[in-house]
Chains A and B, each alone.
Chain A
Amino acid sequence: MVNYSEKEDSKPVVKCVSYFLAHVPSMVRHGSKPSREIGNHSFLLPQFLAHLRTFDQAVAYPPNQVFIGNLDPDDLLRNIPSPWFLNPIRNSSRWGPFGEIMPEEEFYGLMKICDEFQIMLMEDAFLQETAERLRTHPLFVAEDVQKLGKGRSLGQIEKELDVPETIPLYVNRDRLIGCLRRARGGGAEDDANLAPSILMENLATRASGVMALRHLISKVPGICQIDYLLGCGEEAVGDRYNRGGGNMAKAIGQLSGCSSATGSDVKAFCCAPVHAIVIAAGLVASGIFNNVAVVAGGSFAKLGMKAEGHINHNQMILEDVLAGIAILVTRNDWKSPVIRLDSIGKHEIGTGSAQQAIMEKLVVEPLNRLGMKLSQIDKYATEMHNPEITEPQGSGNVPMTNYRTIGGLAVLRNEIRREELDRFVEIHGMPGFSPTQGHIASAVPVLGHSVRKMIAGQMQTTMFLAKGSLFLGRMTQMSDGMSFLLERNKHSG
Chain B
Amino acid sequence: MDLKGKKVIVIGERDGIQGPSIEACIKSAGAEPVIVQTQCFV
A interface residue numbers (CB < 8 A to B): 352-355, 383, 385, 390, 393-396, 398, 401-402, 436, 438, 441, 467, 469, 471-472, 477, 479
Secondary structure at the B interface, as helix, strand, loop or mixed, is: loop
* Cα-based distance from A214 to B32 in the complex (angstroms): 54
A353 to B37 alpha-carbon distance, docked (Å):
12
Can you list, as one digit per residue, whether each of B11-42 has a CB less than 8 Å from chain A (1) or not (0)? 00011111111000000000000001110111
Contact A354 B18 (CB under 8 A): yes
CB–CB A355/B42 < 8 A: no
Please state if B21 and A354 are interface contacts (CB–CB under 8 Å): yes
Residue in A352, A383, A394 whose CB lies within 8 Å of B15: A383
Given contacts A441-B42, A471-B38, contact A401 B20 (CB under 8 A): no
Residue of B nearest to A395 (CB): B41
Would you call B38 and A477 a contact (CB within 8 A)? yes
CA distance in complex: A352, B21 (Å): 8
Instruction: From A352, A354, A394, A469, give the contact of B14 (CB < 8 A).
Output: A469
- Dominant SS at the A interface? mixed
B residues near A (Cβ < 8 Å) are 14-21, 36-38, 40-42
Give Cα A398 to B36, complex, Å. Answer: 22
Pull 21 A–B residue pairs with CB atoms less than 8 Å apart, ordered by A.
Answer: A354-B17, A354-B18, A355-B15, A355-B16, A383-B42, A385-B42, A393-B41, A396-B41, A401-B15, A402-B15, A467-B15, A469-B14, A469-B38, A471-B19, A471-B37, A472-B40, A477-B19, A477-B20, A477-B36, A479-B14, A479-B38
Central interface residue in B15, B21, B42, by most chain A CB within 10 Å: B42
B42 and A353 form a contact (CB under 8 A): no
Shortest Cβ gap from A361 to chain B (Å)? 14
The interface residues of chain B lying within 8 Å CB-to-CB of A352 are 20-21
> A467 to B42, alpha carbons, bound, how many Å?
12
Of all chain A residues, which has the CB nearest B14?
A: A469
Task: Tell which of B19, B21, B37, B42 touches A436, judged by Cβ atoms closer than 8 Å.
Answer: B42
Complex Cα spacing A467 to B20, Å: 16
Q: Would A398 and B19 count as touching, CB distance under 8 A?
A: no
- The complex places the Cα of A385 from the Cα of B42 at a distance, in Å, of 8
Q: Which residues of A contact B36 (CB under 8 A)?
A: 477
Query: Nearest Cβ in chain A — how far from B24, in angstroms?
Result: 8
**Please, which residue of chain A has its CB at the minimum distance from the CB of B12?**
A353
Residues on the A chain within 8 Å of B37, using CB: 471
- B40 lies within 8 A of A469 (CB): yes
Task: Select from chain B the residue with minimum beta-carbon distance to A474.
Answer: B37
**Complex Cα spacing A46 to B28, Å:** 50
CB of A444 to closest CB in B, whole Å:
15
Bound together, the chains give a CA A469 to CA B20 distance in angstroms of 13
- Least CB distance, B22 to chain A, in whole angstroms: 10
For B17, give the chain A residue with the smallest CB separation.
Answer: A355
> Closest approach, in angstroms, between the C-beta of B23 and any C-beta of chain A?
9
**B16 near A353 (CB under 8 angstroms)?**
no
